[in-house]
Chains A and B, each alone.
Chain A
Amino acid sequence: MHNNNHQKGLVNLILLIQITIAVGLMLFGFIFQAEWAEKFMIGVGMIKPMHTQVDYYTYIKGIEYLLCFYYFLIFPVFFMFINNKKAAAKKPVRSLQMVTAIEVDKIKQ
């Protein structure tokens, strides 16, 4: 039982790391490959010359609300991930040393 949970936690962790790497890569790509990223952004209309402030606002507000929409999709998932009472209840609160100790033990075995 305990082992099972442990595995689940591991899977979660791996998933999280993967996501972080993916997001990180994306950001990295945007910085290093500025040219490519920019072409992409021009292609999808994210950068276009603006002559009036009113058009500029229509554009930035559109992007902002789109991002907010994505945020609303992410936040509840994040909330449930953190606030999962069942998962938390099964695991005692452990310090970092304890966790490492357990891991080290396992490796030793």
Chain B
Amino acid sequence: MKLFASEKQEIPISDHFKPDGSRWTLKEKLLLGLSFDDYRKQLVRNPLNWLILIIFAIGVPIIVERFVFGLGSVTHGSNDYPWGLFLAFGLFGMVPLSASGFMLGTTVELFGRKDFHPIERLALLNGLLGYFFAVIYLQVDLGMPWRLPYPMVVSLGPAAVLFLVAWHVATYLSVQIAEVLPSFFEWIGWLKGKRMIRSMVLCLTIAGIILSTLHQGALGALFTYPAGKLHPLWMSANFLWIQFLCSAVFGGLSMLIIVSTLSKWFLAWRCDNQFLDSLDKLTLGLAKGAAFAMITYLGIKFMAIAHDKEWVYLFTGWGQYYLLELTIGVVIPMMLFAFAVRNGNAQMARVAAFISVFGVLWNRINTALIGFNWHMYQEIPHWKEVAITITIFTLYLATYRFILYRLPILYAWKGEK
């Protein structure tokens, strides 16, 4: 695609009209303004596509197997570890990394920081896709996926924490779709729809903050049910929800730094100058936010230990592992972020972002799989479970790329807005 973009000056498409004044058709927009042959050629030429194809070739049959022969055929079907990798990575890991949507929505729309505008749409899209695929992971994991709407319409269990997760993720997903729709409307040229959403933007943003606060927290609160099963260092009846919320803040911001970096590296042809020129500055802005969230997180992590008087556990093997998680996952990226901001070094902030996203994922897996049932044996996920997890993640990346290629996320639409 890079090649084509440098050859023909009318692509990438960023306007309703071709240079000669005629309108792009929807099909042409979908094919990125290439002829069908050219489009296929660029698909085949990209080695990444081959990798995706291989992963799908292995993973899709396994997914089919799961839906035909049941969960037991692709996982260990453990009754001791009812939640496996699908939820530990897919739900508990993807959701905090998708907090970017509400963070940037708040920054730009609520606090009026228009300077973050170039990256706002990317943040919203990152949020939407993250949630959407978290739901897909959930659907793979649920015993009866066709009953997904039951907690909302058939039988309500309002005292359950998962009840909140279900309601909030469902409503928040709709809010996020509404927030991303304007770019879609620009792209297909339906301005009325865009204006309609603009008029509700404050409402949507505040709804986003409320829902995010609660379901990020609720995901943490879910682990207060197995109060005696989860290792005391990770379990905290009073603090776990706010720890999850707080780590989602820097998780989401770091994820945004990563996707914007990747876009800059691999999709430069699609970005406009406003995005490329302001990216370093914005990255440092995000890094600052993440650093503050991280020091807060460290604070409440130790507060929680003090609150439950668990210092003695720190001197066991589990305690060392716990401190290792905090050092690698939080302290190191926090220092890197801090130095990056002080020295105006956006590269360093990017390195830190990669570490911190890893740290958040690691924390979720520690909570859901490793620290869980800590006085029991350790469950190692079935290879098919890993394969499905990777396949869905690949689908996520492919969808991400598909949308970034087309919609005005990384660039501003040149046509009427």
Q: Mark A residues whose CB is within 8 Å of B.
A: 54, 57-58, 61-62, 64-65, 76
Contact = CB atoms under 8 A, between A and B. Distances in A.
A65 B203 contact: no
A62 B156 contact: yes
B144 interface: no
Contacts of A64: 158
A64 B163 CA distance: 14
A58 B157 contact: yes
B64 interface: no
A57 B203 contact: no
B159 interface: yes
Instruction: State the main secondary structure of chain B at its contact with A.
Output: loop
B109 to A, nearest CB: 15
Interface of B: 156-159, 203
B203 A62 contact: no
B161 to A, nearest CB: 10
Instruction: State the main secondary structure of chain A at its contact with B.
Output: helix
Given A57-B159, A64-B158, A65-B158, 9 more contacts: A54-B159, A58-B157, A58-B158, A58-B159, A61-B158, A61-B159, A62-B156, A62-B158, A76-B203
Contacts of B203: 76
Nearest to B167: A65
Contacts of B157: 58
A109 to B, nearest CB: 42
A64 B158 CA distance: 9
A58 to B, nearest CB: 4
A62 B157 CA distance: 8
12 contacts: A54-B159, A57-B159, A58-B157, A58-B158, A58-B159, A61-B158, A61-B159, A62-B156, A62-B158, A64-B158, A65-B158, A76-B203
Nearest to B156: A62
A54 B157 CA distance: 11
A54 B160 CA distance: 10
8 A-B pairs with least C-beta separation: A57-B159, A61-B158, A58-B159, A62-B158, A61-B159, A65-B158, A58-B158, A76-B203
Contacts of A58: 157-159
Contacts of A61: 158-159
Nearest to A75: B206
B165 to A, nearest CB: 14
A65 B159 CA distance: 10
B36 to A, nearest CB: 48
Contacts of A62: 156, 158
A61 B158 CA distance: 6
B394 to A, nearest CB: 38
Nearest to A64: B158
Contacts of A57: 159
Nearest to B163: A61
User: Which residue, A57, A61, A64, has most C-beta atoms of chain B within 10 A?
Assistant: A61
Nearest to A61: B158
Contacts of A76: 203
A58 B158 CA distance: 6
A105 B159 CA distance: 59
A76 B205 CA distance: 13
Nearest to B210: A72
